[in-house]
Structure 1
Amino acid sequence: MKDFEKSSKEALCDLLRKVPIIEIKSLEAAPQTKYWAPDFIVEIATSGKSRSLVCEVKASGQPRFVNAAILQLRDYVTAWDIDVTAIVIAPYLSPAARQACREKGVGYLDLEGNAWISFDGVFIDRQVADKPPAEHRELKSLFKPKSAQILRAMLREPAHAWRVIELSEVASASLGQVSNVRTALLDREWGQVTSNGFFLCDPQALLDAWVEAYEPPSGERKKFYTTLHGSALENAARSVIGEQSCGRTLFSSFSAAQWLAPYARVGTHYFYADSEGLDKLIEALQLVPAAKGENVVITVPRDEGLLLDTVEAAPGVLCTSPVQTYLDLTVAGERAKEAAEYLRQEKLTWPR
């Protein structure tokens, strides 16, 4: 932490030196108080007027830690009689963390280049578009198959307060995995703890982040052609999907959306299936492999959780859940994105 604090001081001073009217007078440790003190203070002058920049350094820039720092800084600076500006510094500050700082009038700086500091005649506003690699890895880890099973369970009932053991059983995940997901959601302030358990307090933000990090499920993607169409194809598919005693099959992507929130029909039908379900679909739909011109696409996913996260849209009609259908549509091309947004409006709206 001391090395990062040193880097933070250097980064802030480098930023300030780029503003011609700012003169750095001193950089020193903050005077101790009975309860809490920030990490350091930079004394500056602008056009002969003194100001103190009170800085708190955080090893994590997730909203949970940044909001705590904001409260501590605001309490600390109220005791000062001179002009003071509070600043939060972190390796990387998420857009939500940056917004929280702005709303509370607290400056920020991260080592990726994002900065916002405003006082008197000084206004610094720098935004970097890309997330650092570590942030991408952390988000992708949150949405890996085992974690995704937990998130899908929670998104079915965002307001439900979960105990760790209960969520572990429902999502078929280990207690350790549930605890890791719980911590990640708390750090980003997408989750909240009450006396009754843990629940999603911002499912919309969670879903937004998932979409940004989402990649199509890994597995075999097989293309076929069938001469069946209309009700004949639908009835044949429903006969297979409704019989789950041997093999699992379900409507996915556009085909699932057509049952959940009809928007636009396409000429291709989409399914998820296991190996036995694949064979049953091939037989019932009279499928022949197609290198091009396919009108049936069946994915055999490696993640078996996708075949369990289902909804019955009508008798004998199993579809991927609204969340999974929405995610799949967002990576299926421009036309699919319109269907995805319609599905989200119809099935995935929760109060913020």
Structure 2
Amino acid sequence: MLTQRQLIDQLLEALRALPSARVQFRIKPRWDSATAPHWQYDLRLDLGLGGRAVTMLVEAMRSLYPRDVRQKLWQIRAASQTWSDAPGEQQTVPLLLAESISSGARELLESERVGYYDSGGSLHVPAEDMFVHIDRPPSKPVSKSHRSRFSGRRAQVLHALLIHHGEWLSVKSVAERAHVSPATASQVLAELERHEWADTRGMGPRKTRSLVQPAALLDAWVRQRDLLRAPPTERFYVPGADAAELAQRLSHLFEARGADYALTHAAAAQHYAPFLSSISRVHCRLLTGPAATLALDELGARSVDEGANLVVIPAKSSGEFLFRQRLGGLWLASPIQVYLDLVHSGGRAPELAEHMRRERIGF
């Protein structure tokens, strides 16, 4: 975690790196009548660029989400009524500085012509005569934090909320559905509130929350998977079976041996929302272990590099099967999981993913 001083130093370095930039640091008065009592900033800078100059009022924060930005925008709007009327002054631009700024927060700031800078190096200065916009990926620590939001037990919470979107749920109820601790459920719910993806009702023990922006959450999950490597897979060839027959055979053997599994990709999507005339390959998530190995041997599955008709995605824990569904005598990964697996696959998989999202998921 960066200190306020480190964030300010990064901002100054980024501004000085602009072509022909002149940056002058002004000592901020303890009480600035131009912004008080509405908004108290941390740093006052004069930036000269290409013969033009602006005054930047900078406030440093730890992180910025849409809810934080809306609160700050109210303060900044009230303060701007004072500084905008000051005669003979160069243009004043408010700028919010944070280690991490969510995409939704950036969009809000840009729409309200408020500048921002984050620790990844993204910079936005929306002055009338001077426009600077540098878009860079989040810093590694921030990126790692974002990845953890969509993995492990936190992902189980998100998965549960997407399935039960629109329902008003207590922390205890969410924790039970996601098979996580109340503390984990509470942390995830609080973050969704900051993104304005979830609403809150009630107080104390009666407090409940509802996921009201499921599409925004699912889109964010897809964007995060864009940055990750595809999950490892094991490829097999099973002789003498088309995809439909293979799905039935492996289902029978996995269940007989007590191996947790769930069909995914096209093999599952075709059950949820038929789209393709035929498929040639079966994908399944499988909890690895002796039971799975024995079932694959009995199936006659042979490991291959090419010509596979069975692709296994090894599961790390039984938590990956919490939301699977039984359909047509088969265990299918949840529609959310199938969509996430399909959307970054090759061939016609992205088309199938969007068809299933439209017809089965509905947001």
- TM-score normalised by the shorter chain: which range applies? 0.7 to 0.9
Q: 1:340 to 1:35 in 2, by over 3 A?
A: same
Q: Which runs of 5+ in 2 are unaligned?
A: none
C-alpha separation between the residues in 2 aligned to 1:234 and 1:270? 9
Residue matched to 2:346: 333
The equivalences for 1:94-105 within 5 A come to 94-105=102-113
Residue matched to 1:182: 189
Alpha-carbon displacement from aligned partner over 1:73-132 (angstroms, at most 9, x marks no partner)? 12222233225332222234333222111111222233433222233322222222x221
- Per the TM alignment, residue 204 of structure 1 is displaced from its structure 2 partner at its CA by 2.1
Q: Match for 1:39 among 32, 38, 42?
A: 42
C-alpha separation between the residues in 2 aligned to 1:216 and 1:244? 33
Residue matched to 1:311: 325
The equivalences for 1:132-147 within 5 A come to 132-147=139-154
Residue matched to 1:290: 303
What TM-score comes out, normalization by structure 1 length? 0.82
Residue matched to 2:279: 266
Q: Match for 2:156 among 149, 158, 166?
A: 149
- Kept in 1, the 8 Å contact 2:165–2:210? The answer is yes
- Per the TM alignment, residue 172 of structure 1 is displaced from its structure 2 partner at its CA by 0.8
The equivalences for 1:36-185 within 5 A come to 36-42=39-45, 52-80=55-83, 81-82=85-86, 84-128=92-136, 130-185=137-192
Aligned length: 343
- Kept in 1, the 8 Å contact 2:246–2:282? The answer is no
C-alpha separation between the residues in 2 aligned to 1:239 and 1:5? 58
Q: Match for 2:224 among 213, 221, 244?
A: 213
Alpha-carbon displacement from aligned partner over 1:217-273 (angstroms, at most 9, x marks no partner)? 9787362313122654454456567x6894433322221111112233331112233
Alpha-carbon displacement from aligned partner over 1:28-78 (angstroms, at most 9, x marks no partner)? 245163464222333578999986433222121333333322222122222
SS across alignment from 1:160: coil
- Per the TM alignment, residue 188 of structure 1 is displaced from its structure 2 partner at its CA by 3.0
Alpha-carbon displacement from aligned partner over 1:145-188 (angstroms, at most 9, x marks no partner)? 21111111100022122211111111110112112222332333
2:63 partner letter: S
Residue matched to 2:238: 225
Q: Which runs of 5+ in 1 are unaligned?
A: none
- Kept in 1, the 8 Å contact 2:198–2:209? The answer is yes
Q: 1:24 to 1:263 in 2, by over 3 A?
A: same
SS across alignment from 2:64: coil
- Per the TM alignment, residue 296 of structure 1 is displaced from its structure 2 partner at its CA by 1.9
Are positions 1:199 and 2:200 aligned together? no
1:86 partner letter: P
- Kept in 2, the 8 Å contact 1:218–1:301? The answer is no
- Kept in 2, the 8 Å contact 1:250–1:273? The answer is yes
1:121 partner letter: D
2:165 partner letter: P
1:66 partner letter: V
1:176 partner letter: A
| Root-mean-square deviation over aligned CA pairs | 3.4
